[in-house]
Homo-oligomer: A and B are copies of this chain.
């Protein structure tokens, strides 16, 4: 059985968990405590060279890292990743954009809020938001004329961009500035097999 190493609050790991569920692939979940340094032990580094989650452990013990790579690997052959080379490149471009332009800018302000240090990190949060809003404008502009990022249907492009955008308000971002984003988030949440970040939150 596949084994997914994740953490309680990781949006990158959340993407992979949603996809595994949507593809009905059975998996074992190992949730690490980042605050205890559990991604920095020699044993974990042997599985995940970048010292972070998600890490996907295959049945033969080999591991894969980086959410974009794992999504592309798992979705191969499914309806969530078209076979057409142009559409695949479009999807990869969104996964890459999300990692370069949204991930840290959206995730770190949220992290500072979750840790209760938002006040002392106010200057850094302002820097991240200045950059993050530029990325959100590009996303919102694209969605003005479309229901989905690529190919007029739900793909791993939407899934890969979803988590940190959905959680951005926890880092102080105002998504109401972007009327195209909220309906797109809602369409993703309505997809069969979607699961929330925290299972207990939907009890």
Contacts and interface: CB of A to CB of B under 8 A. Distances in A.
A93 interface: yes
A104 B100 contact: yes
Contacts of A49: 138, 141-142
A67 B142 CA distance: 19
Interface in A53-68: 58, 62, 64-68
Copies of this subunit: 2
A93 B49 CA distance: 11
A97 B76 CA distance: 21
A83 to B, nearest CB: 12
6 contacts: A58-B86, A66-B93, A68-B92, A73-B92, A95-B96, A99-B99
A131 to B, nearest CB: 9
A2 interface: no
Given A69-B93, A99-B100, A64 B51 contact: no
